[in-house]
Structure 1
């Protein structure tokens, strides 16, 4: 009976399969569709992440006279739909959802990464992933500028698409980025040079796309927005937070600034050309230029209220903030198997070498207690991430 039903599905008209394929809006859903049987796989072509974002080779801002690649990953909620009884996997929990990062390799394969450290996770997974058994729900896309070997280019920090549409053609394609320790710049496809958007402030910390606008925050906590003419317009009063680094996070429709208190001052690296030359072919070659990078010892969170200005936030409720090198975002702990709310995941490493970090580089700040722990030693703070914890049968 099972074989008969399977054969009937395989015999669906090609026109109907093509109509279904056009309704699938994510690459992973298309891959799951193609996994059903040979005839379905032959009807729908193999998709590529590059269909969403055109492959772009960009020239780095001076003094780095070299070409690089704009790459991206997707932070997702991984949902196990049902467990394959034939697979030798642990018993799934009642809420089988975890946070992960998805990247496509050069061979077109999906690779799962830790969403904070970007460390590869596939080889450590206790559950065999069958495309028919799981689903990805996108949370946010993360962009970075890399060399051809996938190593991040030092000196180009947060990057966002400009305009918002990721399916635009190359003639319309551009990016906004913070680079060289705090400069705010714009690059459009075909430009030979980057455009410096603010020649009076070289102390920008973060940039975010929020409510179809682009916002930046500087070292003093002043939030500005960038209009369609690429003019930087002050949006909020200065926070004057005493922390050494600011991050912008959107959560439940509100804009937050996370002020990170450091045990020292971030020292700018001026010799970018030598740093890039040392690290281009060897991710660790730039380490000899590394200066002591300060460590976080405290965090303060502020919500921007358009009527009242800055509101000091004492609790995030069930929300979890993630401060990454490529993007910052928030999720609800209730949407996942494990993890706790009212906390902030971060890394002290500024990714100087461009190499992926280890789990030991990740910290979690508990907002209620005001303390920092290493999630690697606390299961309740690790359970939110893929791979899931082992559960005995």
Structure 2
């Protein structure tokens, strides 16, 4: 029996527009319009990305840092997952790329886990990519503050997160060198120092989750900040007595995780390439229980059989079902101990922590540090 293909051109404009309005990202709207000429005529193109957002006119937080360079604008990049259009689910490969779309129509390509990126990296990529040749999925938006005058990114901003972009008012939270946290609001265009009881906590990470900002200190003490009222509360007590680790917050759907990596005995010497010796590494994973108001240590399932990327200024989960080249229950961690190495290729400073089973300790490897990022896959079209 012959299967009749649907005639997409007969769908009414009203239905097509209703579908397009429910698509979550700009790339989804572009893909939807690419189905056929009828879709393109019925659904208007999405607006060009506003990066940088110079219209916000963000002042420099002089009360939080001794430096002052001028007014700031909000810029963002997007982590995209590219996949070949014609492939089976089990054979498909996925390639991650960070892209900043400029108002001029050009794009700037960056390292998926590191703030900086060498010119050599961009020069080895194709001059253009046709989105119709791939399945493209938006993974995450990454924000930063830059000077309006010369587009320079002040180094005092370690991480920048924002509230929902589609709301009338916008809030920006910045983690600033020295462990300070500031919150800027578009309604009054001023910065507020988030200080807990005058104790001078050294904050390690910030994130926006469930319409609230979260900030965690070096001992794992976690507070929430309501961006409208500026009320804050301690949502979870400390999870560790040590302040020698690296605390990272990362969300997966409705859940929030805290990952703490630290050396039990740290000894690191650099030789040629990536040769080095390490002491014992410990990685603890916690999941926030908002009802009990505490971090619950995760032993069973570890990372729910997913993999997590802990970048320099953002983190995200991926599923090995969608990314065959990553391992489940694996942590790809940007490690600043490798900051003196050459950055000719992306993700050159990533260490891979993984568990063979739930009862075993964490293993780590550096030999495959960038294979999931570089070189580009063979199916990537150069024209």
Of 328, 335, 338, the residue aligned with 1:341 is: 328
Corresponding residue SS for 2:104:
coil
Q: Find out whether 1:185 has 2:190 as its counterpart.
A: no
For residues 61-72 of structure 1, what are the structure 2 equivalents within 5 Å? 61-62=61-62, 63-65=66-68, 66-72=70-76
Residues in 1 aligned to 2:338 and 2:76: alpha-carbon distance in whole angstroms: 16
* Larger relative helix fraction: 1
Corresponding residue SS for 1:101:
strand
**Structure 2 CA distance for partners of 1:235 and 1:93, relative to 1, 3 Å:** closer
For residues 22-171 of structure 1, what are the structure 2 equivalents within 5 Å? 25-32=24-31, 33=33, 40=40, 44-45=44-45, 47-50=47-50, 55-62=55-62, 63-65=66-68, 66-82=70-86, 94-117=91-114, 119=117, 123-124=123-124, 129-148=129-148, 150-161=151-162, 164-169=163-168
Of 280, 292, 295, the residue aligned with 1:310 is: 295
Unaligned runs of 5+ in 1: 1-7, 84-90, 265-294
Corresponding residue SS for 2:132:
coil
1:210-248 Cα shifts (integer Å, max 9, x gaps): 223221111111111112411220111211242433111
Q: How many residues align?
A: 338
Task: Look up the match of 2:365.
Answer: 373
1:30-49 Cα shifts (integer Å, max 9, x gaps): 54537977x95998457312
Task: Look up the match of 1:382.
Answer: 371
TM-aligned CA deviation for residue 317 of structure 1: 4.5
Residues in 2 aligned to 1:48 and 1:298: alpha-carbon distance in whole angstroms: 44
Residues in 2 aligned to 1:224 and 1:188: alpha-carbon distance in whole angstroms: 19
Moved more, 74-83 or 323-332: 74-83
Task: Look up the match of 1:301.
Answer: 285
**Structure 2 CA distance for partners of 1:144 and 1:111, relative to 1, 3 Å:** same
TM-aligned CA deviation for residue 104 of structure 1: 0.9
1:120-175 Cα shifts (integer Å, max 9, x gaps): 766545898322122332222211112355553211122221xx320345xx2221
Residues in 1 aligned to 2:191 and 2:202: alpha-carbon distance in whole angstroms: 17
Task: Look up the match of 1:361.
Answer: 349
Residues in 2 aligned to 1:247 and 1:49: alpha-carbon distance in whole angstroms: 29
1:248-272 Cα shifts (integer Å, max 9, x gaps): 12235332211121578xxxxxxxx
- Judge conservation of contact 1:318–1:334 (CA < 8 Å) in 2: no
- Judge conservation of contact 1:76–1:137 (CA < 8 Å) in 2: yes
**Structure 2 CA distance for partners of 1:300 and 1:340, relative to 1, 3 Å:** same
**Structure 2 CA distance for partners of 1:132 and 1:192, relative to 1, 3 Å:** closer
For residues 8-19 of structure 1, what are the structure 2 equivalents within 5 Å? none
Normalised TM-score (structure 1) = 0.70
Unaligned runs of 5+ in 2: 1-7, 267-278
Residues in 2 aligned to 1:41 and 1:338: alpha-carbon distance in whole angstroms: 38
TM-aligned CA deviation for residue 320 of structure 1: 1.1
TM-aligned CA deviation for residue 303 of structure 1: 2.3
